[in-house]
């Protein structure tokens, strides 16, 4: 009979197998690595050594002091009246306690005890002591009363005003003594809500509550707890607490980051306060848990350091925001293409404008700002823009296409210039700070910002061309000194073509609604890796995940610079540019090449004869069409308004007569405004 298959699979009898001799793996002679990592604790507390923290602490204390002074200052009459009312009770208390003191009442229980226990010796000793005390205290009281009375009489005779002042002071003091302990006359001006101090057990409670089996098991075991241990004591770090700990074997900081909400619940804090992060200088199991006193969006951000002063070198990192601990966070715009995305109203445009302001503060940089929302969010930048447009009408798109075509040619020219340079000047075939500063080469930084970039990308006629040029700017631009910035409130494949989303270097994700949008902005698998812009709440405006600067993405609260502040920064930037000699294009009233042949100001002036003070816009449009049908065919009144807007010319109500001879008020342009704009433009051009 043949063996059944199971026979072949039968287990080998034990006697056929060599017994397994356990090997010792821990060799007692294994040498020690002799590497010791020592970390010195700072001599002084962090806020004492950091200028900004020190200033913030001093400012906070000063502001509280000032407020308290004002608060109590206005209440002085009320306090005085209340203390006056309480002074009789205070006087009674004073007399009663002086009486107790003079007659040594505090030792009465001891004397009673000696009487009750019939301890004669002790009683005699206490009685003697009392006698001496009463004599001394009585004398002190008598002397004080006599001198007090004498002093009062002396004051009454020589300086009665002082007597009243002393009396008033005495009444107030008696009033203080007469206060009820639960109803003090002078209360605190600043009410402080005490936050719970972070302790080790609170941290462990928080970690235990995230539902990670390894962590919970480790905490249950106690002791060294499967590798779970605090590596240093919990300290104050900026406006919050910091705990450094090793997680149980196999658990990574990402596991904790994913569970921020339950962790916050376990710590009894708002989720915006709780920021777990890995420690890039340590192993993969090290967690830095930073717990802020307030959520990030409620913490007062330091002012943007470049708001009032300072110049930018786009090749170097520039501060643009703060992390959770309110430490500065910088961004390096050169050699990058930038993508900014979020749902509407989260601060995308503000962030793009901030980045454009940074570029404006480098006087070498050429700025192209296009706002397709059309609300003029970038209008503060007009005085420093080489190309600027706000709007999504066909004429706006045509302007942008023309500007982008110029950039396409510029990319080609730059590539040739770089190719022609010797290796010694251009070792890495890319623009260097020195090359950018050499005006003869024309390799200065060019920064192009397109807000709501989905609008031009989806344009029927020019969409593909715009996308191709923008993709080229994203891919080749960084090496050739061109920075493309693309902002969208609809981060999908159509709004943000793959050529751009895949090649962008710097990525800023404000709040988004789902994984696809998150990964479209931050990069593939970022959501899975724990970098989730979905975790932001709607009040986290201006807060984003930033990827591309440093090894790992980080959370940044971008500096808040509103339109008014932006105008001030731009005024400073314009001054720098005037000095450097870089005010070009839109800033001096020049548009892209297509409109170069058409001088709208000159043409409008040509159709308003000197004897007419003002003409209706619709009439100007009709006359322009007659003047140059090829350039102005189909123009209406609003085209005239839009074309003159960049020159600061606004239409006003103008009285005129219709063709039927009826008198009417309609929107029109004054001839004087045109002549003024031409004079200003010519002066600017001459200066440039």
Ligand X SMILES: Nc1ncnc2c1ncn2[C@@H]1O[C@H](COP(=O)(O)OP(=O)(O)OP(=O)(O)O)[C@@H](O)[C@H]1O
- Asked if residue 304 binds ligand X (CB under 6 A), the reply is no
Task: Output the six-digit token pair for 368.
Answer: 């192209």
CB 452, min distance to ligand X, A: 7
CB 348, min distance to ligand X, A: 3
CB 373, min distance to ligand X, A: 5
One symbol per residue from 91 to 120: x for binding ligand X (CB under 6 A), - otherwise; what is it? ------------------------------
In 372-522, DSSP assigns E strands to: 385-390, 446-451, 482-488, 506-509
Angle made by CA atoms 622, 623, 624, in degrees to the nearest 5: 90
Mind giving me the DSSP string for 64-118? HHHHHHHHHHTTHHHHHHHHHHHHHHHHHHHHHHHHHHHTTGGGHHHHHHHHHTT
675 labelled ligand-binding: no
CB 374, min distance to ligand X, A: 11
Only one of the segments 119-127, 288-296, 340-348, 475-483 lies at the binding site for ligand X (rule: CB under 6 A); that segment is 340-348
Distance (Å, whole) CA 542 – CA 523 = 20
CB 487, min distance to ligand X, A: 7
608 labelled ligand-binding: no
Q: Which lies closer to ligand X via its Cβ, residue 179 or residue 297?
A: 297
Residue selected from 203, 306, 346, 566 as contacting ligand X according to rule CB under 6 A? 346
Under 8 Å between Cβ of 648 and 633: no
Residue selected from 402, 558, 639, 641 as contacting ligand X according to rule CB under 6 A? 558
Distance (Å, whole) CA 339 – CA 376 = 20
DSSP category for residue 313: -
Using DSSP, state whether 156 is helix, strand or coil: helix
Using DSSP, state whether 551 is helix, strand or coil: coil
Residue selected from 148, 344, 376, 626 as contacting ligand X according to rule CB under 6 A? 344
Only one of the segments 32-40, 141-149, 182-190, 339-347 lies at the binding site for ligand X (rule: CB under 6 A); that segment is 339-347
Residue selected from 275, 350, 545, 616 as contacting ligand X according to rule CB under 6 A? 350
- Asked if residue 572 binds ligand X (CB under 6 A), the reply is no
349 labelled ligand-binding: yes
| Alpha-carbon torsion angle 20, 26, 27, 29, nearest 10 | -170
Only one of the segments 198-206, 345-353, 406-414, 515-523 lies at the binding site for ligand X (rule: CB under 6 A); that segment is 345-353
Nearest to 339 by CA among 505, 476, 459, 205: 505
- Asked if residue 490 binds ligand X (CB under 6 A), the reply is no
Only one of the segments 10-18, 338-346, 423-431, 580-588 lies at the binding site for ligand X (rule: CB under 6 A); that segment is 338-346
DSSP element (H, E) containing 636: none
Only one of the segments 76-84, 199-207, 347-355, 422-430 lies at the binding site for ligand X (rule: CB under 6 A); that segment is 347-355
Per rule CB under 6 A, count of chain residues that contact ligand X:
14
Other Cβ atoms closer than 10 A to 36: 6
C-alpha distances (whole Å) from 91 to each of 82, 99, 179, 252 are 15, 12, 11, 68
Between strands 366-371 and 286-292, the pairing is unpaired
CB 345, min distance to ligand X, A: 4
Distance (Å, whole) CA 31 – CA 21 = 25
Q: Which lies closer to ligand X via its Cβ, residue 212 or residue 518?
A: 518
Under 8 Å between Cβ of 237 and 290: yes
Phi (first) and psi of residue 22, to 5 degrees: -60, 135
Distance (Å, whole) CA 434 – CA 67 = 52
Between strands 446-451 and 366-371, the pairing is parallel
Residue selected from 212, 489, 625, 639 as contacting ligand X according to rule CB under 6 A? 489
- Asked if residue 560 binds ligand X (CB under 6 A), the reply is yes
Q: Which lies closer to ligand X via its Cβ, residue 318 or residue 600?
A: 318
Residue selected from 299, 349, 402, 625 as contacting ligand X according to rule CB under 6 A? 349
Only one of the segments 305-313, 342-350, 475-483, 570-578 lies at the binding site for ligand X (rule: CB under 6 A); that segment is 342-350
Q: Which lies closer to ligand X via its Cβ, residue 353 or residue 444?
A: 353
- Asked if residue 373 binds ligand X (CB under 6 A), the reply is yes
Distance (Å, whole) CA 113 – CA 130 = 15
Nearest to 311 by CA among 573, 581, 566, 565: 573
Distance (Å, whole) CA 326 – CA 52 = 10
Only one of the segments 310-318, 344-352, 362-370, 423-431 lies at the binding site for ligand X (rule: CB under 6 A); that segment is 344-352
Under 8 Å between Cβ of 419 and 346: no
Q: Which lies closer to ligand X via its Cβ, residue 229 or residue 308?
A: 308
C-alpha distances (whole Å) from 174 to each of 90, 93, 147, 151, 437 are 4, 9, 19, 19, 76
- Asked if residue 348 binds ligand X (CB under 6 A), the reply is yes
Distance (Å, whole) CA 265 – CA 539 = 19
Nearest to 380 by CA among 575, 564, 542: 564
- Asked if residue 86 binds ligand X (CB under 6 A), the reply is no
215 labelled ligand-binding: no
Nearest to 644 by CA among 595, 583, 574, 579: 595
Q: Which lies closer to ligand X via its Cβ, residue 251 or residue 346?
A: 346
CB 558, min distance to ligand X, A: 4
DSSP category for residue 31: P
CB 322, min distance to ligand X, A: 10
343 labelled ligand-binding: yes
Distance (Å, whole) CA 570 – CA 429 = 32
- Asked if residue 276 binds ligand X (CB under 6 A), the reply is no
Using DSSP, state whether 243 is helix, strand or coil: strand
Only one of the segments 12-20, 44-52, 341-349, 573-581 lies at the binding site for ligand X (rule: CB under 6 A); that segment is 341-349
Q: Which lies closer to ligand X via its Cβ, residue 288 or residue 570?
A: 570
CB 161, min distance to ligand X, A: 57
Q: Which lies closer to ligand X via its Cβ, residue 226 or residue 501?
A: 501
Q: Which lies closer to ligand X via its Cβ, residue 315 or residue 508?
A: 508
- Asked if residue 322 binds ligand X (CB under 6 A), the reply is no
The distance from CA 265 to its chain's CA centroid, rounded to whole angstroms, is 25
Q: Which lies closer to ligand X via its Cβ, residue 347 or residue 481?
A: 347
- Closest residue to ligand X, based on beta-carbon distance: 542
DSSP element (H, E) containing 637: helix 637-644
Residue 395: CA atoms inside 13 Å, Cβ hemisphere, count? Answer: 14
Distance (Å, whole) CA 435 – CA 431 = 6
- Asked if residue 623 binds ligand X (CB under 6 A), the reply is no
Only one of the segments 346-354, 402-410, 441-449, 585-593 lies at the binding site for ligand X (rule: CB under 6 A); that segment is 346-354
Query: What is the footprint of ligand X within residues 495-554 (CB under 6 A)?
Result: 541-542
344 labelled ligand-binding: yes
- Asked if residue 565 binds ligand X (CB under 6 A), the reply is no
- Asked if residue 449 binds ligand X (CB under 6 A), the reply is no
Under 8 Å between Cβ of 399 and 386: no
Binding-site ranges for ligand X (CB under 6 A): 342, 344-350, 373, 489, 541-542, 558, 560
Which residues line the annotated binding site? 342-349
Q: Which residues are annotated as a binding site for ATP?
A: 342-349
């Amino acid at each position: 009979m043949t063996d059944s298959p199971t026979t072949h699979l039968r287990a080998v009898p034990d006697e056929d197998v060599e017994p397994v001799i356990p090997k010792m793996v821990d060799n007692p002679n294994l040498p020690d690595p002799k590497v010791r990592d020592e970390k010195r604790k700072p001599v002084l507390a962090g806020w004492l050594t950091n200028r900004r923290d020190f200033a913030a602490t001093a400012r906070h204390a000063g502001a509280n002091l000032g407020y308290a002074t004002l608060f109590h200052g206005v209440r002085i009459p009320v306090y005085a009246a209340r203390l006056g009312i309480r002074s009789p009770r205070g006087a009674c208390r004073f007399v009663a306690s002086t009486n107790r003191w003079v007659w040594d009442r505090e030792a009465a229980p001891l004397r009673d005890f000696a009487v009750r226990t019939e301890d004669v010796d002790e009683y005699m000793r206490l009685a003697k002591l009392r006698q001496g005390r009463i004599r001394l205290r009585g004398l002190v009281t008598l002397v004080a009363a006599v001198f007090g009375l004498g002093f009062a009489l002396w004051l009454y005779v020589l300086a009665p005003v002082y007597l009243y002042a002393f009396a008033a002071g005495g009444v107030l003091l008696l009033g203080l003594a007469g206060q009820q302990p639960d109803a003090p006359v002078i209360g605190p001006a600043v009410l402080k809500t005490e936050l719970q101090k972070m302790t080790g057990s609170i941290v462990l409670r928080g970690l235990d509550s995230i539902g990670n089996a390894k962590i919970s098991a480790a905490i249950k075991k106690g002791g060294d707890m499967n590798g779970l241990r605090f590596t240093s004591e919990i300290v104050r770090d900026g406006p919050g607490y910091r705990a450094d700990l090793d997680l149980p074997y196999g658990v990574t900081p990402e596991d904790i980051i994913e569970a921020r909400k339950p962790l916050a619940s376990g710590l009894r804090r708002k989720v915006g306060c709780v920021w777990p992060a890995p420690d890039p200088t340590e192993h993969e199991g090290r967690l830095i848990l930073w717990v802020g006193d307030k959520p990030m969006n409620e913490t007062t951000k330091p002012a943007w350091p470049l708001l009032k002063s300072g110049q930018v070198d786009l090749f170097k990192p520039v501060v643009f925001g703060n992390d959770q601990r309110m430490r500065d966070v910088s961004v390096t715009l050169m050699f990058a293409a930038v993508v900014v995305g979020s749902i509407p109203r989260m601060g995308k445009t503000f962030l793009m404008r901030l980045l454009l302001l940074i570029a404006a503060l480098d006087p070498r940089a050429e700025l192209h700002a296009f706002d397709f929302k059309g609300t003029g969010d970038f209008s503060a930048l007009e005085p420093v823009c080489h190309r600027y447009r706000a709007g999504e009408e066909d004429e706006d798109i045509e302007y942008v296409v023309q500007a982008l075509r110029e950039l396409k040619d510029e990319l080609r020219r730059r590539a040739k210039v770089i190719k022609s340079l010797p290796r010694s000047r251009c070792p890495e075939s890319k623009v260097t700070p020195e090359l950018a500063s050499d005006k003869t080469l024309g390799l200065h930084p060019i920064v192009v910002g397109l807000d709501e970039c989905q609008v031009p990308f989806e344009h029927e006629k020019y969409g593909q061309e715009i996308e191709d040029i923008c993709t080229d700017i994203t891919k080749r631009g960084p090496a050739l000194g061109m920075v493309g910035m693309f902002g969208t409130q609809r981060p999908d494949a159509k709004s943000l073509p793959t050529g751009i989303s895949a090649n962008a270097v710097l990525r800023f994700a404000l709040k988004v609604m789902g994984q696809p949008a998150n990964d479209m902005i931050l990069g593939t698998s970022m959501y899975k890796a724990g970098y989730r812009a979905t975790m932001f709440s709607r009040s986290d405006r201006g807060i984003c995940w930033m990827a591309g600067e440093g090894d790992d993405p980080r959370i940044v609260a971008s500096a808040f610079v509103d339109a008014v502040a932006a105008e001030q920064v731009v005024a400073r930037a314009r001054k720098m540019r005037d000095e450097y000699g870089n005010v070009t294009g839109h800033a001096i009233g020049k548009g892209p090449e297509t409109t170069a042949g058409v001088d709208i100001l000159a043409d409008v002036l040509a159709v308003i004869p000197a004897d007419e003070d003002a003409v209706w816009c619709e009439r100007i449009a009709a006359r322009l069409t007659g003047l140059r049908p090829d350039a102005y065919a189909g123009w209406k009144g609003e085209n005239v308004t839009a074309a003159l807007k960049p020159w600061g010319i606004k239409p006003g109500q103008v009285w005129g007569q219709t063709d039927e001879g009826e008198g009417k008020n309609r929107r029109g342009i004054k001839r004087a405004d045109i002549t003024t704009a031409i004079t200003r433009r010519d002066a600017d051009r001459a200066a440039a």
